[in-house]
Structure 1
């Protein structure tokens, strides 16, 4: 696959953290009704540094809140439907979305429908996710699949600085609620980002690597684990295609199915628990729509169905590894 610079696009290199800050800054400059708030996002710049400098630049439009997730999300909803405001709330850890479950699962996703479309809900809820350095069972989860069961919510899971910036700008401009999940390990990932403004539409997966033998569908950090495994497998004569859905709702099944019909073998990899993870839905839809194109059963790799260990040593065994991916692909090739 060609890099952006190889296509002739003028680029700059940013970390994903920097790309997110740029997206927030550009959208706040563009639209004065946009506000950013959450736990420590103001002068401190966020516990992961993903809002650094924005309070200084935009003043009271970037502000801290108490540690009260229910209030944060409910306030965002109220601002959106009554105050002509475009709020971007952040929860310090994505796990805390459970505290505001009613506001997210019911109200953000359903209220526009319940009120006959009379209101818009332009809320972009930012949620840091993933295992990162011994944060423990309540600060390391990836809960995005829960909300695939909530009609009305859009679910975004970027894996690169390019995707993060383009998708976040699209999210902020959208008049419906968006859950924007950011993997904590990826904040320091560097990548090319266009120097000019750009948007990435929802519901458009990205083929991160082309291949002919096996399709790997991966999200967030696991996109990079899959790409590393694909290099190892290529040296052994197996060419893997890696697809990043980028958004789980809407889900681009066309790109996924086109790849499945080409390779006939599928592996879905994510850091979420395997049981009921986003891979379960994707696998089911592949089986419904491309069963007779498959040469092997659809395989999934996810985390075990246990709480994430506090131990930095033990937590590494929770997420799928490059070795597991390589071994599973080899199993698929035996069919």
Structure 2
């Protein structure tokens, strides 16, 4: 056998996501490049590591064992690299962060300066819905998680980063037609929801329940970006975090629809398990955020804190 660390990394990520597409996105490789390396890696084993049924990829039991072994090898190689860098006086190690979907518009700004200051640190940031983020946190698979709603069954420490503001938004052309909770079918347009497990969906459902709104038409989509594009296209309206809508609001593709008891305001929190022993890298990030948090918000999110409904 003559597999490389690069092939081990690719297979481990494909096995983790059970998706060539998601693995290629994280590794910043094209899908054909990942597929070729995956095939070359498979050719070195007499037993299938995976199979494709329809359009879905499934990892075999043998493949799962190889993926675990690959993760162990990669971790050992990382340890060697980190120890070598540490001898030279660099902060070195891996930082693992799980981020809820909308948090992808927030977390990179709070990590960018830290990563530039510490080239010996490797970052792995998984972006998914709240349910999976909380599972990763609970199973101690990450150092930190970025959430806007705190899971109440876990004992957590946290640092508050910035507000998360949700408003009802719609396509400008459909703006005057919207009447959320309207009693006549002609008064209502569809309300577009995120998938179950999303914190944004939970906020919408709580709002609708609390004020006993009559939502006659519902559409469900599985990503914040999909919801945004659907609203821009006039497919419906949605209660969305403003943090991901800067360009669309400023250029008029979307408009905020004033509504009773809106906006919904929560807080973006970086959280970690109270029982977790943080690594030197994780502790250094917390110190960095305490010092730089206000500057980061002022520099990158001034538009957000001062945005006015027109």
TM-score by length of 2: 0.31
Structure number having the greater helix percentage: 2
Higher relative contact order, chain-length normalized (CA < 8 Å, sep 6+): 2
Greater Rg, structure 1 or structure 2? 2
TM-score by length of 1: 0.30
